[in-house]
Amino acid sequence: MSTRPEPLYPLFSDLRSLSGIGPKLAALFPALNVHYPKDLLFTLPQSGIERRSVATVRDVATAEIICVEIEVMRHVPSRVKSRPYRVVVQDSELSFELVFFHARGDYLERILPVGARRIVSGKVEYFDNLVQIAHPDYILPVSEKETMKSFEPIYPLTAGVTQKTMQKAVRSALERVPDLPEWIDKAQKSQAEWPDWKNALALAHDPNSWSDLGTENRARQRLAYDEFFAHQMTLSLARLNLRRAKGHVNQGNNALRSKILEGLSFKPTGAQMRSVQDIEADMAAPHRMNRLLQGDVGSGKTLVAFLALLIAVESGGQGVLMAPTEILARQHMESLDALAVAAGVRLELLTGRDTGATRRVKLEALASGQVDILLGTHAVFQKDVEFADLRLAVVDEQHRFGVRQRLELGRKGGAVDVLVMTATPIPRSLALSHYGDMDVSILDEKPAGRKPITTAIVPSERLEHVIENLQKAVQDGRQAYWVCPLVEESEVLDYTSAEDRFKSLRAVLEEGVVELVHGQMPPAEKDAAMAKFERGECKVLVATTVIEVGVNVPNATIMIIERAEIFGLAQLHQLRGRVGRGEAASTCLLLYQAPLSKSGQRRLEIMRETEDGFKIAETDLEMRGAGDLIGTAQSGLPLFRIANVETMASLMAKAQSDARALLTRDPELTTERGRAVRTLLWLMEQEKAIRLISVG
């Protein structure tokens, strides 16, 4: 099925084919993200109007919307333009007025002839203690009373599209909904008591009460599930495709790993060992590994990565570890060097700074297999970088690379196993929607002996006091990071603020005690400053957010963040994670400039309350919404019209396991249900996924 199934044609036709929509209106709908009739089906009412049926308007509260039977008594046309046209009517107990501004009398006389009985509906208001209804929503003959709904859906609108137009367009779209074969597992559907797709649409657009508009409503649940399921089918198909691609069987013999595990000064956490086992099993399997290693800052991802790289070497091949920044690549080199020596493997570092002859020599060593493990930045994936036998690519802190680069990497690696590491705790729901194509290992255990970090929120007026305390701490031999803010995302200003702080701190602290690192510095200077800090020669490192990810100096126990209120939660968490890595207790000071915005205050408070990266990420998600958390542009997050990623996490999880289970049984989607799922994918415009089936 490489073209859209015929039953879907009417749902993908021109909007103008719907009743009541001409060219002018059709041009307005895209503002609502409505391009085809099917988009209208998935645009559910966001609110409702309840019309209480009453015998009389007596004692009805002001602003209540009611529906009442009346007799028309007399018309009182307006004598001056600014005054309304009034129609006096009588219900079972009370006489009141219907009021019309800028009215056409002949029209009103026709629909409200004196002596006739009518059903009117609208909002009750009091004017000089008299009841009136201005511009009733409905005026109907008594015989049509049943056609008026006691609960009316209210749709999202855009300029030029009225509620009535919208309702009419949706009704017209609903009329052409075909019966489609069921794509949801029968047992799942009956257990959840979900309606059929067609019926679900009808119900969702015809709410009878407020609770029908809630997320617990069965019709809405089903439609939300459809969206998640289609998305998870796409991710699962991508995953299946990757797994189908032939990979090496990388069977380690433990020879190298056992050497370094014996020599470690600490015991790996259970989570670290479990993750290594996951990786080992993946690498030994004949398909390609595509695994995400998620672990909060300081959870010890580097060791896991290194053990994985050793598996590649044990099985006779090479491995590569890519870091997002030069500093991190160098740091990996330094921290892994001793381990590599212990294991007897050859490490090499390749970054953008290697040029000319140095670079050539390194590339030759790599291509001839004299290098076992290559560390580096993006430079390791340049065209002319050739490996003798690459088996595993590890991407560290992948958050910075984005989803698209990950796909790119998969393509480049050929049959290479891929391990992606992220330090950004991602709420489960988001992890599912972003990494649903990957298998996930989580480092949810902190290495033993970590001391909690004391976090304080400090107004910038207390800066002098902070500096005094810093002086004392430095005299006691402690080390501190001082992070300066990114000012308006301008690198120049960014640089200036760090430079200024560097100068002012240098003036009060002892000579040679303060160093500066920022993105604009010549690389050699940057390295020198970092190295001095790592060796403990310099005590205070003034930095921009270049130290945000990965930097590991266990002796540093103080983190000071200036203008903390303008940082995002994820960033603050990353920065704070630079301390609390050693034996001594650590402190984090969040300096802010008053006045704090509500959200700024909330962010700082949650930082003070918890160190749990997942909790912080959940709060972040709540405060910002899913799109923002990863950056909408690069998030690749699909537009869910009905489903809510934030509140329906368990539904998403269900959709993922269902999608994977279906593909296990029916990888080509050829069974009856499989074919129904194809239709769903077309309906949800996930036809890219369908292409994966035909390619695979």
Which residue stretch of 294-302, 362-370, 484-492, 591-599 sits at the interface with ligand ADP (rule: CB under 6 A)?
Answer: 294-302
Q: In 3-state terms, what secondary structure has residue 63?
A: coil
State the sign of the Cα–Cα–Cα–Cα dihedral 276, 399, 551, 391: positive
Which CB atom, from 136 or from 550, has the smaller least distance to Mg ion?
A: 550
| Close Cβ partners of 190 (under 8 Å, ≥ 6 residues apart) | none
Question: Of these partners, ligand ADP, Mg ion, none, which one is at the site of residue 56 (CB under 5 to 8 Å by kind)?
Answer: none
Task: Give the pair of three-digit tokens for residue 1.
Answer: 């099925």
Helix (H) or strand (E) holding 695: helix 687-695
Query: Binding residue for ligand ADP (CB under 6 A) from 447, 636, 638, 696?
Result: 447
- CB of 396: closest distance to Mg ion in angstroms? 6
Which CB atom, from 301 or from 576, has the smaller least distance to Mg ion?
A: 301
Say if residue 277 is exposed, middle or buried (CB neighbours under 10 Å; 0-12, 13-18, 19+). Answer: exposed
Which residue stretch of 3-11, 26-34, 291-299, 536-544 sits at the interface with ligand ADP (rule: CB under 6 A)?
Answer: 291-299
Query: How many residues bind Mg ion, per CB under 5 A?
Result: 2
Closest to 561 in 3D by CA, of 543, 534, 546 = 543
Question: Of these partners, Mg ion, ligand ADP, none, which one is at the site of residue 303 (CB under 5 to 8 Å by kind)?
Answer: ligand ADP
Q: What is the C-alpha separation between 283 and 278, in angstroms, rounded?
A: 9
- CB of 607: closest distance to ligand ADP in angstroms? 18
Query: How many residues bind ligand ADP, per CB under 6 A?
Result: 19
Q: What is the C-alpha separation between 310 and 312, in angstroms, rounded?
A: 5
Which CB atom, from 48 or from 582, has the smaller least distance to ligand ADP?
A: 582
295 binds ligand ADP (CB under 6 A): yes
Which residue stretch of 173-181, 265-273, 502-510, 512-520 sits at the interface with ligand ADP (rule: CB under 6 A)?
Answer: 265-273
Q: What is the C-alpha separation between 123 and 120, in angstroms, rounded?
A: 10
Contact 67, 53 (CB under 8 A): yes
Which CB atom, from 112 or from 453, has the smaller least distance to ligand ADP?
A: 453
Q: Please tell me whether the peptide bond between 459 and the residue prior to it is cis, using omega within 30 degrees of 0.
A: no
Which CB atom, from 153 or from 298, has the smaller least distance to ligand ADP?
A: 298
Q: In 3-state terms, what secondary structure has residue 383?
A: coil
Which CB atom, from 136 or from 324, has the smaller least distance to Mg ion?
A: 324
- CB of 520: closest distance to ligand ADP in angstroms? 26
- Chain-centroid distance of CA 583 in Å reads 35
The four Cα atoms 236, 241, 244, 246 give a dihedral, to 10 degrees, of: -130
Which CB atom, from 301 or from 673, has the smaller least distance to ligand ADP?
A: 301
410 binds ligand ADP (CB under 6 A): no
Contact 300, 443 (CB under 8 A): yes
Query: Binding residue for ligand ADP (CB under 6 A) from 423, 470, 564, 684?
Result: 423
- CB of 574: closest distance to Mg ion in angstroms? 10
Task: Give the pair of three-digit tokens for residue 597.
Answer: 């915005």
| Close Cβ partners of 162 (under 8 Å, ≥ 6 residues apart) | none
Residue 96 phi, psi (nearest 5): -150, -175
- Largest Cα span, the chain: 103
| Close Cβ partners of 596 (under 8 Å, ≥ 6 residues apart) | 565, 604
550 binds Mg ion (CB under 5 A): yes
Which residue stretch of 108-116, 317-325, 549-557, 586-594 sits at the interface with Mg ion (rule: CB under 5 A)?
Answer: 549-557
Q: In 3-state terms, what secondary structure has residue 372?
A: coil
- Where in 291-310 is the site for Mg ion (CB under 5 A)? 301
- Where in 543-582 is the site for ligand ADP (CB under 6 A)? 550, 552, 554, 581
268 binds ligand ADP (CB under 6 A): yes
What are the residues facing 439 on neighbouring strands?
291
- CB of 340: closest distance to ligand ADP in angstroms? 14
600-616 burial: b if 16+ Cβ within 10 Å, else e = beebbebbeeebebbeb
- CB of 295: closest distance to ligand ADP in angstroms? 5
Contact 472, 558 (CB under 8 A): no
Give the strand pairing for 417-422 and 453-459. unpaired
Question: Of these partners, Mg ion, ligand ADP, none, which one is at the site of residue 10 (CB under 5 to 8 Å by kind)?
Answer: none
Give the strand pairing for 373-376 and 318-322. parallel
- CB of 695: closest distance to ligand ADP in angstroms? 36
Question: Of these partners, Mg ion, ligand ADP, none, which one is at the site of residue 295 (CB under 5 to 8 Å by kind)?
Answer: ligand ADP
Question: Of these partners, Mg ion, ligand ADP, none, which one is at the site of residue 9 (CB under 5 to 8 Å by kind)?
Answer: none
- CB of 349: closest distance to ligand ADP in angstroms? 17
Which CB atom, from 200 or from 423, has the smaller least distance to ligand ADP?
A: 423
Which CB atom, from 236 or from 441, has the smaller least distance to Mg ion?
A: 441
- Where in 302-341 is the site for ligand ADP (CB under 6 A)? 302-303
Which CB atom, from 315 or from 398, has the smaller least distance to Mg ion?
A: 398
Q: Contact residues for ligand ADP (CB under 6 A)?
A: 266, 268-269, 272, 295, 297-303, 423, 447-448, 550, 552, 554, 581
What is the contact surface with Mg ion in residues (CB under 5 A)?
Answer: 301, 550
